[in-house]
Structure 1
């Protein structure tokens, strides 16, 4: 006879196995589809139903020519979202994937936008990982980049604009939910590319990693309560960091910075840490992801996996699948941004070869006329010229006329000798 507690354990384990099996089946279906699935053509029965192709808002005063991917991360069957985008000049492309995984609900959101401001191309990428509900993450998706674009000093002082926008958006979110009893929150890891200048801002434990010549360079540092500087800040504000399965603020929240979280707002701030990079030919790609990926995939592995795929959408999907196969229990969302420096540099070898051919032709022509050039160059050394010129012309001049030129010539030769 089987006891009831043992039977309950068996049922729970069977349920978990069934959930994992369903997830793997979704990946199997996904692999059978084309690896170049676009947002407009992706089958709606396997992804979030309201994925739409990137649209351009023509109201320049309202959105500054913002082009954005408007997709909803709420879905009935916990499916898989995937898509991609490429810039008009071909120098930049990105792919994104989002998977509910083993969680009962989806609380991850992502955003990809691009626009031109005063002739300057601006691209924005963001990962928002909600906790305690999806409302905060969804609010960030709808408002964070929009608020940043409207900041009056966005182009002139981007670091200041990003910092102020993060904190103001947090205040706006708290104000919008002041009559609600919910206390949800969200992380935010964003990358803003203005020309060749990259600004990465982070709040929480989502993460952004850059690949430079195949090497993984983290551009954000997870905000964990046990980080020495974060713990000191929390304790100076009157808070406490406790161990409850992991280090938590007040024994509740496993991150030290976040949007929302009204009850812990005094300690859990939304002030971002910002890192800046100027991109060059060695920078290959950027990976932004929620902690559902980073909990089981190292930075180096993420970069290696992303580089192994030619298309960034395929890279994002591969990272999601890898994290799930390694046992990630969380929602998993990832954006991969690839830089194509070779598009701009391809013509250079051709122009260089043409110039080399021209130089070779010039040198060949110069070698043919070498006697004339050498006689001109050899006239510069005074000792050689003076001896040659004075010996030959002097008898001719003296024989033709012995008048005034002779004293002048001899005086010049005497001064030279």
Structure 2
């Protein structure tokens, strides 16, 4: 780990020996033209992570560098980057929103990131890399036959380090967002929901409440952006947070998470679908309706009953997330997160056998060294291929978070077998 960190720092210093000069192109493009102060946190962290990941930075070191650079940015006077109010904008609530010129303020952030990285490379002993998280993650996504890819995902084993959370308990965050009507809502949720979660006072005392509030805050924040930029998209989402030997799942819509324990599928949640009895009643009690138009839809429009965005159909399409909590006993194999493009073609009960076969093909019977964990990356890819072969034409995203070493899973499967 130390050798990998030193190697990255050396390469980075060679590429960025000094601050970016004014007027030169940024090495990574900002996500937005204008950002609010509230959005600056998520967009800066995402920009930093993208820049460092593209240059092979270890994830733990990247998280610490991005957090340090963001902390320094927020100590600056940001008023020089405020946007002038646009002519003809007479809406009071819009006038209250402070918008920043994204490219200008992100140049300052990236220069802070360069400055921090240079300082750490010069005195590496004061900034040893954090221990790597043990959870191995396998992700694969495809556009499939759809015209555009509207799924987004995020895997943050270094949740505390990236968000500057001081806690003795490590937290790991995983999320899949399935956008519709465009990718904007999914991109927004993947950029901001984990930041919103980190700001919840109840995160340590009532994690389920914190997750629900984070979904709500992200929906409210996206409403402002959608209004300013005339966006109409929406996204379902499923988030898994692992901390203190507990696994929390929060979700909106029909993206799902499931657990496999001892080779057996464990249900963690009930997806929000328009034809689910309680969802149908909720919509109808509000004066809406559920109709069948190729599939069940809310008011004849959206095929989801809860989502971030879709503001033309709020409150029928609710922004209120649900949450479940599962105690981790130590015998769990992995948790799988996926969009409906996967679960519409694959039954949860099929997953343990599919993963067992994928592991067998990827790793075989040879002893698995911890350094060979990259073999697990092929598991998600094979699951995605299976869903496509099963008839899915939608975007497909599959993420597996292994809760024990792959070697143990292979040993367990060879001795006991996995029941379908």
Task: Specify the TM-score bucket, using the shorter chain as the normaliser.
Answer: 0.5 to 0.7
Q: CA deviation at 1:190?
A: 0.7
Q: Which residue does the alignment assign to 1:414?
A: none
SS at 2:210's partner residue? helix
SS at 1:102's partner residue? coil
Q: CA deviation at 1:89?
A: 5.9
Q: Which residue does the alignment assign to 1:316?
A: 380
Q: 1:102 aligns with which of 145, 157, 161?
A: 145
Give the TM-score, by structure 1 length. Answer: 0.62
Indicate yes or no: 2:156 matched with 1:115: no
Q: 2:231 aligns with which of 167, 179, 182?
A: 182
Q: CA deviation at 1:59?
A: 5.8
Q: Which residue does the alignment assign to 1:268?
A: 317
Indicate yes or no: 2:64 matched with 1:57: yes
Q: 1:335 aligns with which of 399, 404, 410?
A: 399
Q: CA deviation at 1:320?
A: 0.9
SS at 2:301's partner residue? coil
Q: 1:62 to 1:307 in 2, by over 3 A?
A: farther
Bigger Cα Rg: 1
Residues of 1 paired with 2:406 and 2:344: CA distance? Answer: 34
SS at 1:154's partner residue? coil
Q: Which residue does the alignment assign to 1:211?
A: 260
CA deviations 1:244-272 (Å, max 9, x no partner) are 11111001111110110011011111211
Instruction: Kindly indicate whether the alpha-carbon contact (under 8 Å) linking 1:130 and 1:136 is maintained by their aligned counterparts in 2.
Output: yes
Instruction: Kindly indicate whether the alpha-carbon contact (under 8 Å) linking 1:313 and 1:336 is maintained by their aligned counterparts in 2.
Output: no
Q: CA deviation at 1:109?
A: 0.3
Instruction: Kindly indicate whether the alpha-carbon contact (under 8 Å) linking 1:57 and 1:63 is maintained by their aligned counterparts in 2.
Output: no
Instruction: Kindly indicate whether the alpha-carbon contact (under 8 Å) linking 1:91 and 1:343 is maintained by their aligned counterparts in 2.
Output: no
Q: CA deviation at 1:278?
A: 1.0
Residues of 1 paired with 2:352 and 2:288: CA distance? Answer: 37
Q: 1:326 aligns with which of 390, 396, 399?
A: 390
Instruction: Kindly indicate whether the alpha-carbon contact (under 8 Å) linking 2:184 and 2:231 is maintained by their aligned counterparts in 1.
Output: no
Residues of 1 paired with 2:335 and 2:323: CA distance? Answer: 16
Q: CA deviation at 1:60?
A: 4.9
Residues of 2 paired with 1:184 and 1:197: CA distance? Answer: 33
Instruction: Kindly indicate whether the alpha-carbon contact (under 8 Å) linking 2:376 and 2:406 is maintained by their aligned counterparts in 1.
Output: no
Q: 1:341 to 1:106 in 2, by over 3 A?
A: closer
Residues of 2 paired with 1:94 and 1:230: CA distance? Answer: 33
Q: 1:147 to 1:61 in 2, by over 3 A?
A: farther
What are structure 1's unaligned runs of at least 5 residues? 1-48, 65-86, 345-417
Give the TM-score, by structure 2 length. Answer: 0.61
Q: CA deviation at 1:62?
A: 7.9
Q: CA deviation at 1:176?
A: 1.1
Q: 1:159 aligns with which of 196, 205, 208?
A: 208
Q: Which residue does the alignment assign to 1:202?
A: 251
Residues of 2 paired with 1:234 and 1:168: CA distance? Answer: 22
Instruction: Kindly indicate whether the alpha-carbon contact (under 8 Å) linking 2:150 and 2:179 is maintained by their aligned counterparts in 1.
Output: yes
Residues of 2 paired with 1:59 and 1:181: CA distance? Answer: 31
Matched length: 274
SS at 2:211's partner residue? helix
Q: CA deviation at 1:218?
A: 2.2
CA deviations 1:163-207 (Å, max 9, x no partner) are 111111101101111134432100001100013111001101111
CA deviations 1:141-161 (Å, max 9, x no partner) are 100011111222211211111
Q: 1:131 aligns with which of 177, 180, 186?
A: 180
Q: CA deviation at 1:242?
A: 0.8
Residues of 2 paired with 1:111 and 1:188: CA distance? Answer: 11
Q: Which residue does the alignment assign to 2:271?
A: 222
Q: CA deviation at 1:331?
A: 0.6
